[in-house]
Structure 1
């Protein structure tokens, strides 16, 4: 069975879904339930005391620590999206460098780094020096070209179809996947989408034998458009479609 990673909360606002996890304890419980449902890793966006996304060592450490206590051995990842620091590259770098003050067990196993964002190369090197693996966020053929040109190695390549019509999601995904293969970019691929294309790309990842992800970050409803109880429900639905 290929990886299904649970993306627990993303940039969702408090109240977007009744089961949206925000606090460290809520993330830990959501991770435990997702693991029991079949997820083999989790991706989180830790929050501060007001519910806003944060890259500070205090908030990253608290979230990772709580998930690790609830789910020993489960790989835990975080976002480094530049929007979290309001587009400030220097603030993002400073926040991530602050993770050096965390004990190794309170640092995430991996962090996603988006190739479309400025400062990605320096951030990549900082994360590796901290012992944090990098997932390369590739949103386009141009991003695939950029990744190939860096020569940087990653734990996996996230082929992320962000925005656009569901009707073109599969063709856009194949364009990126094909370019990565053409350029011989190393690393396993994980294919996913957000909102309307999310379930289409879960299915396409299954057809291609690729890892995927699902969770309240990406979609708030079932494949049929109905309500879901939370992250574990989404993981179960995704796994059922891979049988």
Structure 2
């Protein structure tokens, strides 16, 4: 675990990456469990993952969520584990997503994730939010823009963390865009701790900003396949070690 006083770091193990995007991309429950163990040993305080079906596609079904969470818990007792609820996993079908998440009621309590991210830009987020809380799963609010910050404030919903996610766009505007979202959240009085991160080229710029601001952040193959200097990385543990070195 990182030293006291350093920003909390979450490892995002695989995301929506496709099989073959990186040789170390974890997909199966056993691969995710091993990746979580390596990330924890490298300094991550939690993991976020996108469980897959037998064909390697992202899945929200209880069978695949439960298998992945169970494997991580058996390998990494006590490590907080979260999943995504991205609407793309059900092809944009809001009802199908809700039905899949409601199916998690069939899981044993130990097979449920500790938290799940819910994107404010996606329709149906309020109902999904309530479904997760009824299951005892904490919600991380995925805020991608100032408009999402407005939607979160208007909803009145409380969350475990606000994920300030600066996705896409040029790297040279990433810091300004991050500050715009953070400032709007603060101005609206939105409660909850913040986690700031980016994807692809702006990843390391925003990780450094998170460190400067004392905010939680994340790193992993979901977000980036290269290190701060642009060199390819071997996998999640290398990314976590590189991030931890920049945050301490």
TM-score by shorter chain over 0.5:
yes
The question of 1:226 aligning with 2:214 is answered no
1:2 and 1:236 mapped to 2: Cα distance? 13
Shift >2 Å, 4+ stretches: none
Map of 1:12 onto structure 2: 17
The question of 1:201 aligning with 2:213 is answered no
Unaligned runs of 5+ in 2: 1-5
Q: Deviations over 1:151-176 (max 9, x none)?
A: 10000000000100000000000000
TM-score (norm 2): 0.98
For residues 1-243 of structure 1, what are the structure 2 equivalents within 5 Å?
Answer: 1-243=6-248
How many aligned residue pairs are there?
A: 243
Q: Deviations over 1:177-219 (max 9, x none)?
A: 0000001100000000000100100000000000000000000
1:179 and 1:51 mapped to 2: Cα distance? 38
Q: 1:119 deviation in Å?
A: 0.2
1:208 and 1:127 mapped to 2: Cα distance? 30
Unaligned runs of 5+ in 1: none
1:221 and 1:193 mapped to 2: Cα distance? 13
Q: Deviations over 1:3-43 (max 9, x none)?
A: 10000000000011010000000000000000000000000
Q: 1:227 deviation in Å?
A: 1.4
